[in-house]
Structure 1
Amino acid sequence: MKSYLKLTSFELSRFFKLYLVLIAITIISQIIGVIVYSNRYLNEMNKVIYEEQMPKAEFLEVYGRSSLFDLTQTLWFLGPIALCVVALIFYVFFIWYRDWFGKNTFIYRLLMLPTARINVFFAKATSIFLMVLGLIALQIVLLFIENMIYQWMVPNEFRTDMAVSQVIQNFRYLNIIIPTTITKLILSYGVGFMAVFIIFTGILLERSYRWKGIFLGIGYCAIAAAVFVLPIIIQELLQKNYLYLVELIIIEVILGLFLAACSIWLSSFLLKHRITV
């Protein structure tokens, strides 16, 4: 256990500088975004009401009240989220290939440590999961801060106040990233964790069998994805609700656990018997 924790801490430290850059970009972009959006709305309001002499009631009827939800549709808000998602997806691959192709092929030093090799697998997966949770926590805090800035800048009569939870519920992408119920949390991040295990296994297949391993890795990921979505595809093709939503969720959870277990077992086998130092 101690070795696993040390490896996890080590993996986190290797990504820490880039992680801080992602955090800084997210904070700066979204704070600037709420200020720019609020100023743009206020400038439009001042121009129409005070220069064009449109009554406030008519302005609100034509242009409507602004809300924090409108801010979440801007590039200032969505851009850094997309950047963080792309960066973490890239890092799922980079976290392994850096060790093989980086200086001194560091993977061999990791695999020669006096601990079970599967701990390297778990440490890399855990570090990614913790980084995702950290960015989600940051986004939640930022939403509260942005809401306060927005309410401070835009007069009460020209805005529609929304709780942060309402903003998350109304915005589909935020609702996926920041689940509002325990069930959604388990499903969203359970699927995410399973996907990381499957991709890691695909990478280890490629590293174990080289050129042939490329096809094995891609094939494994494709088969695993097909197995996971098969119940949904069958339900859609038949166009009949043979399964209740709860039953479908239970089947998907079982399949997810099965695929995760298969990926862990296969990865452990490859690390022990196929990847040599």
Structure 2
Amino acid sequence: MMRYIKLVNFEINRFSKIYLTLLLITVLSQFAGVLIVTKSLINDAKETMLQEKLTEADYLSEYGGIDFTHIANTLWFLGPIALSAVALIFYIFLIWYRDWFGKNTFIYRLLMLPTSRLSLYLSKATAIFLMVLGLIAWQMILLPLENALFNSSVPEAFLNMELSTSSIAAANRVLMLIIPSTFTAFLLSYGTGLMIMSVLFTAIMFERSFRMKGILLGLVYGGVAAMLFLTPVFINNSGVFHFYSIELFGLLLTLGIIVTGLSIWLGSWLLKNRVTV
């Protein structure tokens, strides 16, 4: 167990500089966006009032007020989230391939450690999942602070309403995906992410085991896994049979667990029996 924890800590430390950079970019971009977009919205409102000779009441009646959703839908706010998502998706591949293609082919040392290769496999998956949760926690910390800054920057007359953090998340599709409002949505969202990561890991193990043929095997496995997981959705949308929401959730959760478990088992088996040093 201690070796597994050390491996997780080792993988996190290897990505720490890039990870901290992503956190810094997020806070700088989003806070800058709050200030810049807020000022722009207020200036636009005042310019419109001047050009159309409207009072504050007339403007609000015709155009409405300003709330934090105007900020949450901008590139300033969503850009760092997208950048972090792309970086972590890229790292799913980098976390394996840099060990093979680095200057000293570090994978040889890792595979010869006196520990099970399953621990090596799981440590990489755990490191990525913990970093995902860390980014989400960082966003949840920043969001109320940004909302408070926005509310203090907008004149009361133009402020539509002071939204809560949960209301902001519910009004934005991206935030609703990464900050689910219910435990069921959390399981579905992050369980699906964990399943996709395990499938990609297994596809990488296919490629490392069989090289060019492995690429095709990995693509086929990914397609079969996706078809298996989405079978209840296809059936539900076909009109032949209809599942209740709780039934559909139960089926997706069960199939997600099966696909994830199968992917972990197959990936670790390939790492143990087909990937050699």
Q: Which residue of 1 aligns with 2:209?
A: 208
Shift of 1:108: 1.0
* 2-structure distance, mates of 1:145, 1:265: 43
CA RMSD between the two structures: 1.3
How do 1:3-14 residues align onto structure 2 when only pairs under 5 Å count? 3-14=3-14
* 2-structure distance, mates of 1:272, 1:117: 6
Q: Which residue of 1 aligns with 2:233?
A: 232
Q: Which residue of 2 aligns with 1:176?
A: 177
Shift of 1:112: 0.6
Q: Which residue of 1 aligns with 2:21?
A: 21
* 2-structure distance, mates of 1:271, 1:48: 64
Contact 2:195-2:260 at 8 Å conserved across structures: yes
Residues 141-184 of structure 1: per-residue CA shift (max 9 Å, x gap): 11111111101110222112111100101112211111111111
Shift of 1:259: 0.9
Shift of 1:62: 2.3
2:244 corresponds to 1:244: yes
User: Structure 1 length as normaliser, TM-score?
Assistant: 0.96
Aligned residues: 276
Q: Which residue of 2 aligns with 1:79?
A: 79
2:219 corresponds to 1:218: yes
Partner amino acid, structure 2, of 1:167: I
* 1-structure distance, mates of 2:154, 2:194: 41
Residues 236-261 of structure 1: per-residue CA shift (max 9 Å, x gap): 12x25532111111111111111111
Contact 2:4-2:120 at 8 Å conserved across structures: yes
**Aligned in 2, Cα 1:40/1:235: closer, same or farther, shift over 3 Å?**
same
Partner amino acid, structure 1, of 2:106: F
Partner amino acid, structure 2, of 1:242: H
Partner amino acid, structure 2, of 1:142: L
* 1-structure distance, mates of 2:53, 2:13: 58
Partner amino acid, structure 1, of 2:197: V
* 2-structure distance, mates of 1:181, 1:103: 46
When structure 1 is superposed on structure 2, of 225-234 and 43-52 the one drifting more is 43-52
Q: Structure 1: which 5+ runs fail to align?
A: none
Q: Structure 2: which 5+ runs fail to align?
A: none
Contact 2:235-2:242 at 8 Å conserved across structures: no
Shift of 1:271: 1.5
* 1-structure distance, mates of 2:53, 2:269: 75
2:255 corresponds to 1:255: yes
Q: Which residue of 1 aligns with 2:116?
A: 116
Q: Which residue of 1 aligns with 2:150?
A: 150
* 1-structure distance, mates of 2:128, 2:94: 11
Q: Which residue of 2 aligns with 1:198?
A: 199
User: Structure 2 length as normaliser, TM-score?
Assistant: 0.96
Shift of 1:50: 5.7
2:178 corresponds to 1:188: no
Shift of 1:43: 1.4
Shift of 1:81: 0.9
* 2-structure distance, mates of 1:250, 1:125: 24
Q: Which residue of 1 aligns with 2:129?
A: 129
* 2-structure distance, mates of 1:137, 1:212: 40
SS in 1 for 2:157: helix
* 2-structure distance, mates of 1:113, 1:162: 52
Q: Which residue of 1 aligns with 2:273?
A: 273
Shift of 1:51: 7.0
Contact 2:71-2:77 at 8 Å conserved across structures: yes
Partner amino acid, structure 2, of 1:73: N
Partner amino acid, structure 1, of 2:273: H
* 2-structure distance, mates of 1:17, 1:177: 23
Shift of 1:44: 2.2
Partner amino acid, structure 2, of 1:168: A
* 2-structure distance, mates of 1:275, 1:240: 45
4+ long deviations beyond 2 Å: 44-53
SS in 2 for 1:67: coil
* 2-structure distance, mates of 1:80, 1:256: 29
